[in-house]
Amino acid sequence: MSVIDILARARAWTDARAVTMRERATLSSDPPTAFGIAPIKLVSEEHVQAIAYGFLDAMPSFVTRWHPLGRDSSELVPFAIALDAYLMQMLSKGFLPRIWISDTATMDLLETMGHRFHSNQHASVEVRRMGKELRLLSLEGSIPGQQVVAVAHTLLMGAMSTGQTGAEDAHLGALMAWVNPRPGQDTVKLAAERALIPATAMLDRQNDDLVEALRRQAKGSGRRAALARKRIRRVLEQGAGAQWNLLIEARDAYLSLGLSADHLEPLVEGSRERLRFGMSTFPEPGRSPTALLAELDRSEHAIALVEDLDLADYGTRERARRSGHVFAAKVLTWNPPDPRENGFIMQLHAGQEILRVRRGSMIRLLDGKIRAIVSDVEAHENGGYLLTVKV
């Protein structure tokens, strides 16, 4: 945390509303239609018992499983069909699909669902394909800077500072109290109240206990069991509906920040290529050392690209400057005096106290047009550093 972040939190606390920390987005604009997934899982298990899903500008559809530990997965078929139709339609029209989820717990759940169903012989063809697609989306979602899976909570945390602790921000409902404060209500109190109810893809306690009790009845046969199953479904739909509403609220809040996203095309292109390839072959995640090294390499490259692009954002750039990763410098000399080709030497004066370059560091102008290697760093008599660089 930098002093800028501390002051932003202090300001947010004083104003009782979150402070926006960015002017550039980390997520490209949504395609014409975006798809949302808001599941409910069994507590402390990665078994899904309900999903609200669909286009984000329409009412959601629901699938529910009254016995989520059972082998029957046929209840998931409508979701499987809708997800596949969306992905295929987007790709065929040349758009990059956009899946919105509320938090990383949802991502973990979808990943485990994918693992469980992608080759499950007891599952239908549609559900197996859903498993493959969820695996692919989870894999894509793990790549830094990817542009397919939008995790609303992560996006908001990256773009805003609240007047509470980071640990409290981990609760999406509590975070939203700061992002969308209610007039006349104490934001701190509202956030604290919301934090008392878990917001990570699960039912509230009362409904969870109710479903657990009903599940015993539902396992029987006859009218009573049928009624219990119906009640479970209703409770699960309500729970998934609440998660859906939270997702919509968080997404709207992020989009309403109006962050400019025109610098993200290289990331969009990377996601598009990976998804197009993945949807055609559904490759198994690599396990050999060579495959893992390739993955590490890809990840490192992605991180470097994201960090580079992120410097287009003023807030990020200024923080990087204060930590010495970005600097402003004045050109003192260059040699030869009238350079006509690459390979000339320059002396720069960087006035800042913290500077994270050393002999051999590669530096570049923020617009990326000129690169140079640092050949010497020494203290400058007027403060800051004197850099000798070879362009």
Q: Cα–Cα distance between 79 and 37 in angstroms, integer? A: 9
β-strands 48-55, 61-64: how paired? antiparallel
Give the up-direction half-sphere exposure of residue 157: CA atoms within 13 A in the CB hemisphere: 19
Distance of CA 362 to the CA centre of its chain: 30
Q: Cα–Cα distance between 374 and 357 in angstroms, integer? A: 8
Quick one: which of 244, 202, 213, 245 has its CA closest to 46?
202
Count of residues in the chain: 391
User: How far apart are CB 381 and other proteins at their closest, in Å?
Assistant: 22
Q: Cα–Cα distance between 9 and 18 in angstroms, integer? A: 8
Nearer to other proteins, 56 or 236 (CB): 236
User: Tokens representing 63?
Assistant: 């699938």
Nearer to other proteins, 11 or 272 (CB): 11
User: How far apart are CB 342 and other proteins at their closest, in Å?
Assistant: 34
User: How far apart are CB 85 and other proteins at their closest, in Å?
Assistant: 27
Quick one: which of 61, 103, 105 has its CA closest to 251?
103
Residue at token pair 């893992």? 292
User: How far apart are CB 374 and other proteins at their closest, in Å?
Assistant: 25
User: How far apart are CB 40 and other proteins at their closest, in Å?
Assistant: 12
User: How far apart are CB 261 and other proteins at their closest, in Å?
Assistant: 14
Nearer to other proteins, 193 or 376 (CB): 193
Q: Is the peptide bond before 183 cis (omega within 30 degrees of 0)?
A: no
The distance in angstroms from the start CA to the end CA of the chain is 34
User: Tokens representing 334?
Assistant: 């260059």
Q: Is the peptide bond before 198 cis (omega within 30 degrees of 0)?
A: no
In degrees, to the nearest 5, what angle opens at C-alpha 38 toward C-alphas 81 and 45?
Answer: 100
User: How far apart are CB 105 and other proteins at their closest, in Å?
Assistant: 9
Nearer to other proteins, 98 or 116 (CB): 116
User: How far apart are CB 1 and other proteins at their closest, in Å?
Assistant: 4
Nearer to other proteins, 206 or 333 (CB): 206
User: How far apart are CB 334 and other proteins at their closest, in Å?
Assistant: 31
Nearer to other proteins, 34 or 174 (CB): 174
Distances (CA, A) of 4 to 17, 161, 179, 259, 309: 17, 10, 19, 20, 21
C-beta separation of 130 from 83 below 8 A:
yes
Listing DSSP states for 159-182 in one string gives HEE-SS-HHHHTSHHHHHHHHSPP
Give residue 304's identity as a one-letter amino acid code: A
- Residue ranges in contact with other proteins by CB under 8 A: 1-4, 6-11, 13-14, 19-23, 42-46, 69, 108, 111-112, 115-116, 163-168, 188, 192-193, 195-198, 204-205, 208-209, 211-213, 314-315, 318-319, 322
